[in-house]
Amino acid sequence: MRPDLEMVRAVFRAEATELLAGMEQTFLSIETSAGSEVFERLFRSIHTLKGNALLMGFPAASELAHTVEDLIEKLSARAVPRTAALATLLLQAVDALRLLIGIPNVNERAGVDPGEIQRRLVAAARAGGPPEAASPASSAPAVEGEAPAAERLTEAVPAPARERTLRVGLDRLDRMLDLTGEIAIARGRLTTMLEQPGRYSPQELLAAHRESDRLYQDLQELVMKARLVPIGSAFQPFARTLRDLSTATGKLVRLELSGEEVEVDTAVVELIRDPLTHLVRNAVDHGIEPPQVRKARGKNPMGTLRLHARHEAGGILVEVSDDGAGLDPGRIRDRARAMGLLGPTEERPDDELYQFIFTPGFSTAERLTELSGRGIGLDVVRSNIEALRGAISIDTQAGRGTTLTLRLPLTLSIIEGFLVGVGEETYVLPLESVIECVDLPPTERQPGRSGVLNLRGQPLPFLRLRDHFAMEGPPAERESVVIVGYGQGHQAGFAVDALLGQTQTVIKPLGRLFQHLPGVSGSAILGNGRVALVLDVSTLLRKLLVAPGPTAAA
């Protein structure tokens, strides 16, 4: 019965996560726009949660849900006024329910005390008036047994590792099952043909093989499609984040979402949540000005934060824009000089100055606030995005605002790869970054990690993988350079022993031991059963360009 129970728990958590997220969105706008149908849905959600929590052995969560249900019924009947203070309390109740059930909160918030929330909900429902606006922080250790019911609510539930579940439409699963059947038939036919030597021509065998291969590819495509979910589920929690940030900073911010229906791999949605959270906090903290300042500058006192997603050439693009103050090149220059990143008299164009904000430890904010000064910088955001084979770029205008653009692959697990051989090893480069291949001129074939090649009159920095990976053994007769593109029209090369052509590979994450290996983003199993490392082009190139060879200063 154990594995079954695990399965029920996973389903329960997934369902509770969804129900709570839905309620959270509704509570955000409950003061203004709530028709009876909205309340009916709320009531059903909390009622289901209450019952399920009981079934799964979370009596405290069920008790709290019961109180919320009670309050919702009163709100629906207008026996209790719909106020902002009450909305805040209900949002805190959502946090408390997450805590009690052991669902990770998207935005970590200062200590939620379920017992305290329970008491205030009961008071609000009884009084029919707004609850006293005691902040949760000020009442942090308030577990001194007041009401016995409230005490029971503080039983701790260890937070489990995040459940990885996904809902897949039954019709999609059925089509997969059909295809599995067809593949079985095709394979059976191929086996029968192979068992009768001489009866079928090689062409016939190849045709039969190709048929089953085609079916397999259809299946692969379906499986990848089943992993696609709308990116909106990663955007919606930010309505809550902004509400909390506005309250904390006194800034007025409106959230504008677009492109929520754009579908991406479920893993992408999970993995961009943290980087996006950081960018959103950053925009509110450093970008958007306080209302008085905005007014004085002739802007709408209410700032706007836009999250926008769209498809772009094989990937997706997510923009985080604010209409705040924009980056100040002067301050970035001063800070870069103070950190020794820039010579005392050295000048750089603004575009290049902006890149410094991705340097570890770089922050020009006069004070590190509680919101964004939490030890994580944009450098971490960038490396997170690059770990997803994505890229981040910045566009800013003084006084008008800043846009950070994330480019991400649609799916994380399958890439079109370009295979190269170095010594005995095979490496995979993402095909999308490969531009062309040229011979390495014999004059450049000397040991040393990097060099610069004359490519049709242009200097092309290159990295010799043989040296980079400290490969032993004699170099090949001929070496080639694979030219890859990065950034805005820049090119660089990798010198390799052999070009082995393109292939579709499934990327597997590296084990924990090798996770932080620089320049490698994963591994892939090749057709011949051997393992190949998937190279992380941007990290490798950054190494090459940050520490250029003596002649690579161009």
Partner 1 sequence: MSAQKKILLVDDSPTVLLMERLLLQDGPYALLSATSGQEAVDTALAERPDLILMDVVMPGMDGFEVCRRLRAEAPTSTTPIILVTTRGGSEHVERGYESGCNDYVTKPFDGNELRAKIESFLGP
Residues that bind partner 1 (CB under 8 A): 1, 4, 7-8, 11-12, 15-16, 40-41, 43-44, 47-48, 50-52, 54-57, 62, 66
Tokens 């009961």 belong to residue: 122
Whole-number minimum distance, CB 165 to partner 1, in Å?
A: 10
Answer whether 536's CB lies under 8 Å from 386's CB.
yes
Please choose, from the candidates 244, 379, 392, the residue with its C-alpha nearest in 3D space to the C-alpha of residue 320.
Answer: 392
Q: Which is nearer to partner 1, 1 or 554 (CB)?
A: 1
Q: Which is nearer to partner 1, 63 or 479 (CB)?
A: 63
Q: Which is nearer to partner 1, 55 or 156 (CB)?
A: 55
Q: Which is nearer to partner 1, 12 or 27 (CB)?
A: 12
Answer whether 228's CB lies under 8 Å from 265's CB.
yes
d(C-alpha 240, C-alpha 234), whole Å: 12
- Name the pairing type of β-strands 253-258 and 303-312: parallel
Whole-number minimum distance, CB 9 to partner 1, in Å?
A: 9
Q: Name the amino acid, one letter, at 172.
A: R
Q: Which is nearer to partner 1, 57 or 459 (CB)?
A: 57
Q: Which is nearer to partner 1, 45 or 372 (CB)?
A: 45
Whole-number minimum distance, CB 69 to partner 1, in Å?
A: 9
Whole-number minimum distance, CB 99 to partner 1, in Å?
A: 19
- Quickly list DSSP for 229-285: EETHHHHTHHHHHHHHHHHHH---EEEEEE-TT-EEEHHHHHHHHHHHHHHHHHIII
Q: Which is nearer to partner 1, 51 or 81 (CB)?
A: 51
Whole-number minimum distance, CB 401 to partner 1, in Å?
A: 42
Whole-number minimum distance, CB 139 to partner 1, in Å?
A: 28
Quote the tokens at residue 479: 């070496």
Determine the 3-state secondary structure of 303 from DSSP.
strand
For 497, other C-beta atoms within 10 Å of its C-beta total 22
Determine the 3-state secondary structure of 164 from DSSP.
coil
d(C-alpha 412, C-alpha 506), whole Å: 9
d(C-alpha 415, C-alpha 389), whole Å: 10
Whole-number minimum distance, CB 173 to partner 1, in Å?
A: 14
Whole-number minimum distance, CB 49 to partner 1, in Å?
A: 9
Please choose, from the candidates 320, 343, 358, the residue with its C-alpha nearest in 3D space to the C-alpha of residue 241.
Answer: 320
Whole-number minimum distance, CB 264 to partner 1, in Å?
A: 24
Q: Which is nearer to partner 1, 5 or 137 (CB)?
A: 5
Q: What is the phi/psi pair of residue 97, to 5°?
A: -65, -40
Q: Which is nearer to partner 1, 48 or 105 (CB)?
A: 48
**Burial category of 425 from C-beta neighbours within 10 Å (exposed 0-12, middle 13-18, buried 19 and up):** middle
